[in-house]
Chain A
Amino acid sequence: MSVYKHEYRAYTGRLTPLWARVGVVVRYALAEAWSSKITAVLFTLAMLPAIVDLVGIYLANNPLARALIMRGNTAFDINAGFFLKVLATQSWFTLVLAAWIAPRLVAFDLSDNALPILLSHPISRFGYVVGKLAALFSCLSLATWVPCLLLFIYQGYSSAQPWMRANLRIGAGLVTGSLVWIALLSILGLAISSWVKWRVVATGVIFAAVFVPAGVGGIVTGVLRTKWGFLLNMPAMMTQLWQRLLGAPQVMRDDRQLPTAAIAAVLVSICLVSVAMLNARIRARDEVRG
């Protein structure tokens, strides 16, 4: 039998607060996301439409350019409709970015079986998911509300009239609409990635999760002649939501307009299902079901 001298001393130094430790997971996740050149390429591509829009804003506010190129064409007016198109375009790129990045953040940890090691530290499953979400959210922000807001500010700066104050709703709508979209994509992307260990397949499933229900919704709408099929169509729902947030003209017919409450209910439901999927999958070990 050993003689225990009890000379072992546990660490007694200062500890950082619990919330600060989530930062380690965020750093892991960001490093993982940006370790691929494809992420950088996709991000660069996502910036191209914003640069084109920037040029458009410059030209629209330049009297000489207006006279020579636009010749009074109202299609080049910088208004809520313009920013709705900007937001919609950026959002498509965000979907591609989310489908690429989200699987890298979770699927690798699951396929490498790294969760037992990570979760045997004082960080909860909730903290782990929050860290991953924060990393994905920040990546997607760079392609949505950040360029949109910069364009909005540039328009306010370039405009001869006091444009920004008169159009604050557009700015607020851009940020709110972007945040709703990237929050939805982040949580949905992570949830799907947590169930599909193969990264490429997870990327495909994320696209499928957006487009397959949209197709089904289109069939429902066509066959049953009802607008409610659009509740399965995430892009259509989001477009309607953004249009209302920005105060832009309707882009869909009156009989296809969905109540905002119904859109919100569907979005919340998607988030809840995603949380349930994450809760079932983000565990320190696989549970064998008999």
Chain B
Amino acid sequence: MNDRIIFENVSKFYGEVLGVNRVSLSIPPGVTTLVGPNGSGKTTLMNLMTGLVQPSSGRVSALGMTPGDADKFFRQVGYCTQFDSFPRGLTSWQFLIDGLLLHGMSKADAIRLAGEALERVHLGDAASRKIDAYSKGMRQKIRLAQAIAHHPRVLVLDEPLNGLDPMARAESLSLFEELSRQGMHLVISSHILDEVDRISDRVILITGGYIVAEGNIHQVRREVRDKPMQVLIRCDQPEQLASRMFSVNHCAEARLHSDGKGVFLRTGDIDEFYRLLNEIAIEGLVKIEAVAPADDDTQAIYQYLIGSDGSPS
């Protein structure tokens, strides 16, 4: 069975307004993060993925199923919308049970799965309270619970970390990691890039309705050749290391770490850079303690490819 979410040359226009244009993607299991400025088309992409909007052209499928076959499709897909909205007057227990009954579960299964989902998001104690009386974070959690309650294989989460306190955010991220390890698809849009970065297997950068880049974040960073890569090297003699690198390599920039025990170096040729760094380490002139890329995270890629104004750079 096809285990991917596939977009085949998908475009979506709302009248004359562009939602997304000519998107082709093949998303494998794991955590995929959608990153882009407000209005870039992230939610449209998620709505297309979950069949809530129909593409103007192209085709979308998840695990080989299309949203046209709603019964099978929604059994495998769970969607947590970004809207802080619920049918009025329900307790979280009723909300989950009714959702599961809409999925076609029997009453007994619905009760079991609702209880399980509430426990997973740590809302078991508040199950009998009306959602209207919940805090923003609790409402976010209950949306997540309804998305996972029916055991979908594809989980689409639109801004799932918004409104959560640091502890709840950590719990949610840990839940996402656990689900992805079990072979689930998680497609997440979020503005909290540093936290999402920790669990993402791949990133899709989108702006103005166009996909700017997609793939493993390190691979994407390496493809951005016009921006020299920045590497942090922790060592005992950062000044000497910087001067040595400048003398033999195409280093574009060197900046001492604020504690004086490291140096940030920018290079246009990362392979050559690492080869020289190995030589320096072998020579023993500088004692190198750690080497870490300093700008191959989502935040940096976002800055390089999309920039602060939201337009592709």
CA–CA, A117 to B50, complex, Å? 11
- Chain B nearest CB from A87 CB (Å) reads 34
**Given the contacts A5-B183, A8-B153, A114 and B15 also touching, CB distance less than 8 Å:** no
Contact present for B87 and A109 (CB under 8 Å) = yes
**Given the contacts A7-B183, A16-B104, A285 and B47 also touching, CB distance less than 8 Å:** yes
**Given the contacts A8-B182, A112-B88, A113-B85, A1 and B102 also touching, CB distance less than 8 Å:** no
**Given the contacts A109-B87, A114-B86, A290 and B29 also touching, CB distance less than 8 Å:** no
Contact present for A113 and B83 (CB under 8 Å) = yes
Partner of B52, one of A31, A116, A122: A116
- Chain B nearest CB from A199 CB (Å) reads 11
Contact present for A112 and B86 (CB under 8 Å) = yes
> In the complex, what residues of B have CB within 8 A of residue A18's CB?
71, 104
Q: How many A-B residue pairs have CB under 8 A?
A: 147
Interface: B61 (CB within 8 A): no
CA–CA, A7 to B16, complex, Å? 45
Chain B residues with a Cβ closer than 8 Å to the other chain, count: 52
> In the complex, what residues of B have CB within 8 A of residue A32's CB?
88-89
Contact present for A10 and B153 (CB under 8 Å) = yes
Chain B residue nearest in CB terms to A113? B85
**Given the contacts A2-B201, A11-B105, A24 and B98 also touching, CB distance less than 8 Å:** yes
- Chain A nearest CB from B160 CB (Å) reads 14
CA–CA, A16 to B70, complex, Å? 14
> In the complex, what residues of A have CB within 8 A of residue B180's CB?
2, 4
Interface: A118 (CB within 8 A): yes
CA–CA, A122 to B74, complex, Å? 6
Within B35-67, the residues touching A (CB, 8 Å) are 47, 50-53
Chain B residue nearest in CB terms to A14? B106
Interface: B310 (CB within 8 A): no
Q: Is the interface of A mostly helix, strand, loop or mixed?
A: loop
CA–CA, A285 to B47, complex, Å? 9
Contact present for A284 and B103 (CB under 8 Å) = no
CA–CA, A196 to B31, complex, Å? 40
Contact present for A120 and B50 (CB under 8 Å) = yes
- Chain A nearest CB from B49 CB (Å) reads 11
What are 22 inter-chain pairs, A to B, with CB distance below 8 A?
A: A2-B181, A4-B29, A4-B181, A5-B181, A8-B183, A9-B151, A10-B151, A10-B152, A11-B150, A14-B109, A16-B105, A18-B104, A114-B88, A117-B85, A118-B87, A121-B99, A121-B102, A121-B103, A122-B102, A123-B102, A283-B53, A285-B53
* A residues at B contact (CB < 8 Å): 1-11, 13-18, 20-21, 24-25, 27-28, 31-32, 35, 108-109, 112-114, 116-124, 283-285, 287-290
* B residues at A contact (CB < 8 Å): 14-17, 29-31, 47, 50-53, 70-71, 73-79, 81, 83, 85-89, 98-99, 101-106, 109, 113, 143, 146, 150-153, 179-184, 201, 216
* A13-B105, A16-B105 known, 19 other contacts, Cβ within 8 Å: A2-B30, A4-B181, A4-B183, A8-B182, A9-B151, A10-B152, A11-B150, A32-B88, A35-B89, A109-B87, A116-B83, A117-B81, A117-B99, A122-B73, A122-B104, A288-B15, A288-B17, A289-B17, A290-B17
